[in-house]
Every structure is written in structure tokens, then in C-alpha cells.
Amino acid sequence: MFHTASKAPSVNPRNNARLGTHLRALTLASTVALGLLMPGVAAWANEASVISDFTATTFGTAPLGRLLVSKTNTLYGVASDDGPYGLGAVYELFQPDGVHWARKLIYAFETTADGKQPSAGLIKDKKGNLYGVTAQGGTWGKGTVYKLALNADGSFTHSVLYSFQGSTDGSQPVSELVFDAEGNLYGTASLNGEHGQGTAFKLIAKKNGWKFTLLHGFTGTDGDGKSPSGQLVVDSAGAVYGTTVAGGTYNFGVVYKLTPGEKNVYAESIVLTFRGDNGFNPVGGLATDTSGALYGTSTAAGPNGGGTLFKLAPAGDGSFTYSLLHAFAGSGQGWQPYGAVMPTDNGIFYGTTAAGGSANAGVVYQLAPSDDGSYKYSVIYDMGIAGNGSYAGLARIKSELFGTMSYANDSWNGGVFEVNRKK
């Protein structure tokens, strides 16, 4: 069970300062990133455990982003601060005895040229290599895209695939990367660019390295968004979908689409503009299902003021039909859903909120379809007696859900939690 924690606000001022650029992106204006569709479950036990707390700076502190699950049920994650060199670290969590979790440091950022402050979850290719971004560091100090190549002995070798210059290419990447079918990487940079409002980019895999291609420089004017953040989705035709946390007609953010054309030029179109009544500040980005529908969350506003969970269904003519699946109400039910939602193959959704619950510390929730077409919302774990502030989406191994939190076991260094399905 969780160690009982005292009631605390969802974002600690010290944590906000330490994470700096990432949390600034999360609070502005107030990736297919989904790697796994999971069968829905009907009942969950009201119990959980901290499987790793970050009280020792050796392994890094302040875990960020969604956890990555390997075929061997190992969890990979990033710690945005501290570590042996004080620049952040990458860790793995595994079960040597099949029951208890152990943590291993697999890479510590050693110099600022290597990158500083890993700021989003990892993705993995077919060979077991890991890819991620840092919000700072690199050649010009504006952030990096990096690779951890898996060696035969199980160790990893770090390399920088791209260093942001802070000019037209953007700076401060804080979103999880995503692959397309050809193995190219897509991501966003939250700041700078030609218009100073962030960029969307593509790294094309070449025999002699990776080629950076700018897909779009956000303007924040004429309905365009600004400050892109959160998971991206790339469809079978190569179109890229994502969210910005601000900009658009009302400066509440947008859902955008980037459609590839000749000579790798992408055209932007706005799929959804947030007005306040349908939510605002969609930090978590998007997820998708096998039908091509898009799902996302907004962190605030909406009919009940606590944020929204929405669906964008493809209409067949290239447009999308919006529907509100849930309006978060705050209080004990949870609000401020910062992390991306996890859809399943039978229509059940799982996610986290950063606030609400018994101690205003966030909850883990389930949204299940009813026979009449409505959805039933339920809290499957209240973070208030355990930890605080989950700002990322969930990962799954069999019947367990896993996530990161900013406060655990009376420490603002953060932790990783597990919610167990009722047996």
C-alpha cells in the first residue's frame, strides 16, 4: 500500500522551479503515440503501491512522461533532474524475483552537450533502441533528440540525433516522439521557430544519420495554435495530428493536422478550436484507435470547469466530428487531466488527473461505455492518501496500470506507482 502522505497542493513550488521549462509548457494559458490497446476490465481493487520512489539522487529525481513497457515487461522512464551528473537520467524498473521491483540506471546525462533535463517518455524501435528528447542542452543549449542504442550485453550507448538551435527549428522539445511506418521520427518543439511559437518536425532516417525537416512553424495568429505539447498521432497516409496548449481563435489551444504534400511540404489545417465551453489547454496530446478516431483531454474549463475528455471521429470527407465523452467536475472526482488518455479495444478509457480527489492530489480514473451510449466515470484510485500530481499518461502490464507522480512517500523527488486490478 502507499505510505500515507500529508495533504499537499498538486504542484510544489520547488518542483515547479526544478522542472522549469517542462512545467511551464504544462501550465501555459492557465505521439501513433499510444503504443498499446488493452482489453477493458470491469472491476479494480482500491489499492496501489509505490514501486519506486526517487529519494536518492543517484538514479535521478522528478520522473516525467509516460513509462515505456518492453516485451519482457521492463519499464523504462526518465528522471528530469539530478542523477550522477545533475543533468537527468534514464532508468529501468524490473522484477528480478518476479514480485518485487528493482531500479537500474541505464544512462546519466554527463555533459550539457549530451542533453539536459529529459522531458518526455521514451519510445522503442524493433531492435530495442530507445529514443527521447531533452528540453535543454545539446550543442546550442536548446534541447536535443537522443538515441540509446541497445548493446549485446544489455547496456545502452547514447548519441545525439539532433541539437536544436533555437532558430527556425524551434527549441525546448517536451513531447514524446513517435515513429511512422518507415521508421522516421516526429516531434514538436514548444518554443522559438520562425514565428516564435514552436514547431513540428520530422527526423528522416538516412544511412549516414538523421535529416531534420521542419513540418510547421506555429504562428499563434489567424486561428493557428502556439506552444505545441503532448503526444502526436501519425496515420497510415503520413498525416500528423497534435495539439497546442494555446493559440487558436480564443487562445485556448487547438487540435491540428499536418498533411504531407510534394517535396515533403506539409499543409496545416485546424481540426478543433478550443473555446472554453469545450475545454482549453490540451496538454496531453492525442491517442487513437483502430478506426482512426482521435482522443484527447483538455486540462480546464468545459461544461463543469474541470477539463474534458473528447473524441474526434473521422467523417469520411477528411473532417472530424467532435463529441464530448466526459466533463471533469473537480472535487472528489478529479480534475486537470494533464496526461494523455489511454483508450482500449472495447471502448473503456483510463487516465490520470493532477488534481481533485480526497486531498486535491489527483486520481486514476476509468470511463466505461454504457448500453445507452453514455459513459460512466469512476475513480479507480485516489492519489490523495498516497502521492501527488500525476502529469503523464498510463502504461500497462497485464492487469496492472503504471504511472509517474511528482510526490511520493513524503518526498518531492517523485515516484512510480502501480494500480492493481481486483482479483
Whether residue 26 is predicted with pLDDT greater than 70 in this model: the reply is no
Whether residue 4 is predicted with pLDDT greater than 50 in this model: the reply is no
Amino acid at 381: Y
Amino acid at 272: L
What per-residue confidence (pLDDT) applies to 220?
Answer: 98
What per-residue confidence (pLDDT) applies to 385?
Answer: 56
What per-residue confidence (pLDDT) applies to 373?
Answer: 87
Cell reading at 133 = 528528447
What per-residue confidence (pLDDT) applies to 33?
Answer: 31
- Choose the weakest-confidence range: 97-101, 238-242, 411-415: 411-415
Does 20 reside within a domain?
yes
Mean pLDDT of 370-378: 92
Does 69 reside within a domain?
yes
Cα gap 276→94, rounded to integer Å: 42
What per-residue confidence (pLDDT) applies to 422?
Answer: 58
Who contacts 201 (Cβ-Cβ below 8 Å, separation ≥6)?
169, 170, 186, 187, 188, 189, 212, 213, 214, 215
Closest alpha carbon to 175 in 283, 95, 20: 283
Strand runs (DSSP E) across 220-339, as ranges? Answer: 225-234, 240-247, 254-260, 266-273, 286-288, 294-298, 308-314, 320-327
Mean pLDDT of 345-349: 89
Does 6 reside within a domain?
no
User: Which carries the bigger pLDDT value, residue 48 or residue 325?
Assistant: 325
Cα gap 395→210, rounded to integer Å: 29
Who contacts 231 (Cβ-Cβ below 8 Å, separation ≥6)?
31, 33, 34, 175, 176, 178, 242, 284, 285, 286, 287, 340, 393
pLDDT in tens, 147-167: 999 999 999 999 999 999 999
Q: How high is the mean pLDDT of the chain?
A: 87
Does 4 reside within a domain?
no
What per-residue confidence (pLDDT) applies to 221?
Answer: 97
The CA angle 9-92-105, to the nearest 5 degrees, is 95
Q: Find cell 542533453 and name the residue.
A: 115
Whether residue 3 is predicted with pLDDT greater than 50 in this model: the reply is no
Does 3 reside within a domain?
no
Closest alpha carbon to 356 in 307, 296, 416, 295: 307
Domain containing 269: what range? 13-421
User: Which carries the bigger pLDDT value, residue 215 or residue 206?
Assistant: 215
User: Which carries the bigger pLDDT value, residue 292 or residue 420?
Assistant: 292
CB 148 within 8 A of CB 123: no
pLDDT band, residue 263 (cuts 50/70/90): confident
Whether residue 182 is predicted with pLDDT greater than 90 in this model: the reply is yes
Closest alpha carbon to 275 in 255, 256, 295, 249: 249
Does 112 reside within a domain?
yes
Report the percent of the chain where pLDDT is more than 70. 87
How many CB atoms are closer than 10 A to CB 282?
Answer: 32
pLDDT in tens, 282-317: 999 999 999 999 999 999 999 999 999 999 999 988
Closest alpha carbon to 279 in 260, 305, 317: 305
Does 324 reside within a domain?
yes
What per-residue confidence (pLDDT) applies to 332?
Answer: 83
How many CB atoms are closer than 10 A to CB 345?
Answer: 12
Number of domains comprising the chain: 1
Cell reading at 175 = 513531447
Does 103 reside within a domain?
yes
How many CB atoms are closer than 10 A to CB 208?
Answer: 5
What per-residue confidence (pLDDT) applies to 387?
Answer: 62
Mean pLDDT of 202-228: 96
pTM of this prediction exceeds 0.85: yes
- Residue 105's domain is classified under what CATH number? 2.130.10.130
Whether residue 34 is predicted with pLDDT greater than 70 in this model: the reply is no
pLDDT band, residue 420 (cuts 50/70/90): confident
